Every structure is written in C-alpha cells, then in structure tokens.
C-alpha cells in the first residue's frame, strides 16, 4: 500500500494507548506491544512523573501522539501557544506521527473538553481543510485526522460524514486515523450503514486505526472507552482490514482501566484479525 506521495504506508504493528496506571508494568515487563500512543496533552507539562515515564518508555517503544485540544473545526483562531507546545513535545517524543480529531472543542476562549461534531457543509469543509493545511505548514509535517463519534446531526448538513471526511483529507492533504468504534457508534446513533462509510474511505491515507469499547444505552450508543471492544466492532475492523490491508491498529481505554495483561489479550485478538488478512494476501 502506498500513500498519497507514493511512499509505502508505514506499519507499526499493534499498539495500546499508554495510561499512567500501566507505567510501572510496562517498564518492568516490557510487554509485547509494538508501539504506544500517548495523549499529547497529558505530557504538555513542565516535568515530574509524566515526562519521566514518557522518556523511559519511549526508550523501548515506538510512539505516536494523539491530541484532543487542537479544536481544528472551531471558529476561534488557531491556538498557537498550544501548537508551540505540541511542536516541543513532537521534538521530545519523535513520534511516527501525530493526530487530532475532526471536531471543535469550544469558542469564546472556552474549552468544553469534548469532541464536538461539525456540520457537514461546504462552508465547514473549506474552513476545516484550510485550518488543517495551516497546522501542517506550521508544524512542518502531515497530521492524521480522526473521525469522532456523535449523538447529534445538524439540519444544515449537506454531505454525509464519510463524504465530508474524505473531502477534508483530500483538500488538506492530510492523513487519516480511522476510529472503527466511532464509525460503529455513529452508524447506530444516526442510522447509517458503517460498511458504506468504510467503502468511501481513501485507503492510501489511512495510517492508523483506533478500536475501543462503548456503552449501549436505551436508544443511543455512548463512546465511553470503559469496556472491552464489542464483537460488532471487531467485525467492522475485520471488514476494514479486508479493504485497507495492514494498518497500524490499537486499543484506546480511558476509563475503568483493567490490568495491562487484560488489554494484552484484547490486543491479541486485534492482532489475529490483522494478521489473518496478511496471510490471505500472501496466499
């Protein structure tokens, strides 16, 4: 698989989100995780334990960086103080890549600390694509943009989410972090076919896949990251692997965090699905 610049898409293998509850275990046991993803904001501090463990774990594992506060879709000006801190962290971690979400997090200088969905309009499309391009210019590298899960749809939307995402990526010439759980959650909440979503994705831009658990409520699914990955999400992941080939994939767990060993066995299942595809290809 080659990307938009004709390069081979890098494949890091199968990873986990690094969480402080597992710092000591990771260093003591050096688990068979191919790479870790860090939450960028957790390490935008001056010193202490977060950076101490970050540096030590980085010595042993490749890393990617994942942010939640860029607010790329906000009508507020870009926060260059944030981007400078992100740049400093990129310099420290030397990640394979960094990512943030196709969303906005607040206006009027406030932060809702949530990944709020955008309307899928031509106006938003132009606006967001230009902002991503600006960020990529400022940081001097391509970024990965991730699809969020959502509970609302705007009446103004003119495009489907997958059309919007594909167009944004094309116009901004950015890469994609495809969250399979988010596709599943949004498909349920908004009654669309998740496979249609996958079909529309530009395979060459997909550098990373997120998998996570969710919570089924009465008539909505909430993206809580506090459960193991659900079976239908594994099935959708298998479908993604069939379509896109080998993509670096990982598990995000943010709440109700289990022992590392539990996540490792979950990751084994992810690895098995990913590798099955590889064998199919070779055969």
Partner 1 sequence: MMHLSELQSRFQSFILEPENGEEISWVGGTEQVPSRDRLSVYANAYVLRLKEVLESDYAAVNRAIGDDRFGLLAERYIRQHPSRFFSLRDFGNRFAAYLGEQVEIDASLRDLPWLPELAQFEWTLGLAFDSAESTLLDEQDMASIPADAWPALQFEFCPSVHRIDLEWNIPAMWKSLTADPPETVEAIRTPGSWLVWRQDMVTRFRSLDEDEWLILDLLHRGGNFNDGCELLASQIGEEGVSMRAASLLKGWIGQGLVADAVRTY
160 interacts with partner 1 by CB under 8 A: no
- Contacts to partner 1 from residues 132-151, by CB under 8 A: 151
For the residues of 71-110, what is the DSSP string, one character each?
Answer: -TT-SSPP-HHHHHHHHHHHHHH--S-EEEESSB--STT-
Q: Which residues pair with 16 in a beta bridge?
A: 36, 251
- Contacts to partner 1 from residues 238-277, by CB under 8 A: none
Q: Which of 32, 114, 196, 268 binds partner 1 (CB under 8 A)?
A: 114
Q: Which is nearer to partner 1, 33 or 65 (CB)?
A: 65
Token digits of residue 41: 């904001």
Q: Which residues pair with 100 in a beta bridge?
A: 145
Using CB under 8 A, which of the segments 89-97, 120-128, 137-145, 179-187 binds partner 1?
120-128
Q: Which is nearer to partner 1, 28 or 46 (CB)?
A: 46
Helix (H) or strand (E) holding 35: strand 35-39
181 interacts with partner 1 by CB under 8 A: no
Using CB under 8 A, which of the segments 48-56, 93-101, 168-176, 241-249 binds partner 1?
48-56
Question: Which has the closest alpha carbon to 230: 177, 179, 181?
Answer: 181
Round to whole Å and give the CA distance between 113 and 111: 5
Round to whole Å and give the CA distance between 272 and 276: 6
Q: Compute the least distance from the CB of residue 257 to partner 1, in Å.
A: 14
Q: Which of 9, 16, 26, 69 binds partner 1 (CB under 8 A)?
A: 69
Q: Which is nearer to partner 1, 11 or 127 (CB)?
A: 127
Question: Cα separations (Å) of 164 from 124, 167, 168?
Answer: 9, 5, 6
Round to whole Å and give the CA distance between 218 and 215: 10
CB 47 within 8 A of CB 53: no
Q: Which is nearer to partner 1, 45 or 200 (CB)?
A: 45
Q: Compute the least distance from the CB of residue 97 to partner 1, in Å.
A: 20
How many amino acids of this chain bind partner 1 (CB under 8 A)? 46
CB 147 within 8 A of CB 165: yes
27 interacts with partner 1 by CB under 8 A: no
* Cβ atoms within 10 Å of 160's Cβ, excluding its own: 16
* Cβ atoms within 10 Å of 256's Cβ, excluding its own: 11
130 interacts with partner 1 by CB under 8 A: no
Using CB under 8 A, which of the segments 6-14, 67-75, 237-245, 266-274 binds partner 1?
67-75
127 interacts with partner 1 by CB under 8 A: yes
Q: Which of 2, 8, 28, 46 binds partner 1 (CB under 8 A)?
A: 46
CB 42 within 8 A of CB 50: yes
Q: Which of 29, 75, 199, 276 binds partner 1 (CB under 8 A)?
A: 75
In the complex, the residues that contact partner 1 under the rule CB under 8 A are 41-42, 44-52, 69, 73-75, 79, 82, 104, 106-114, 116, 118-119, 121, 123-124, 127, 151-156, 189, 191, 218-220, 222
């Amino acid at each position: 698989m080659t990307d938009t610049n004709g390069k081979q898409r890098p494949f890091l293998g199968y990873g986990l989100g690094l969480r402080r509850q597992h710092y000591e275990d990771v260093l003591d046991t050096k688990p068979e995780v191919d790479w870790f993803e860090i939450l960028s904001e957790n390490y935008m501090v001056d010193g202490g334990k977060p950076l101490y463990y970050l540096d030590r774990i980085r010595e042993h594992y490749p890393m990617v960086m994942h942010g939640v506060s860029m607010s790329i879709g906000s009508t507020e000006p870009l926060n260059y103080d944030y981007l400078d801190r992100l740049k400093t962290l990129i310099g420290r971690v030397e990640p394979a890549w960094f990512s943030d979400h196709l969303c906005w997090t607040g206006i009027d200088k406030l932060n809702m600390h949530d990944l709020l969905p955008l309307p899928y309009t031509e106006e938003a499309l132009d606006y967001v694509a230009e902002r991503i391009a600006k960020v990529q210019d400022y940081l001097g590298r391509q970024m990965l943009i991730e699809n969020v899960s959502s509970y609302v749809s705007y009446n103004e939307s003119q495009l489907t989410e997958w059309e919007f995402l594909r167009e944004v990526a094309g116009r901004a010439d950015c890469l994609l972090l495809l969250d399979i759980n988010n596709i599943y959650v949004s498909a349920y909440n908004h009654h669309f076919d998740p496979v249609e979503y996958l079909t529309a994705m530009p395979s060459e831009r997909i550098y990373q896949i997120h998998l996570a658990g969710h919570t089924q409520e009465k008539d909505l699914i909430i993206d809580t990251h506090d459960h193991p990955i659900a079976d239908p999400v594994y099935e959708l992941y298998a479908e993604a692997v069939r379509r896109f080939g080998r993509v670096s994939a990982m598990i995000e767990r943010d709440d109700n965090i289990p022992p590392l060993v539990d996540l490792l066995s979950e990751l084994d299942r992810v690895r098995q699905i990913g590798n099955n595809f590889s064998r199919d290809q070779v055969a």
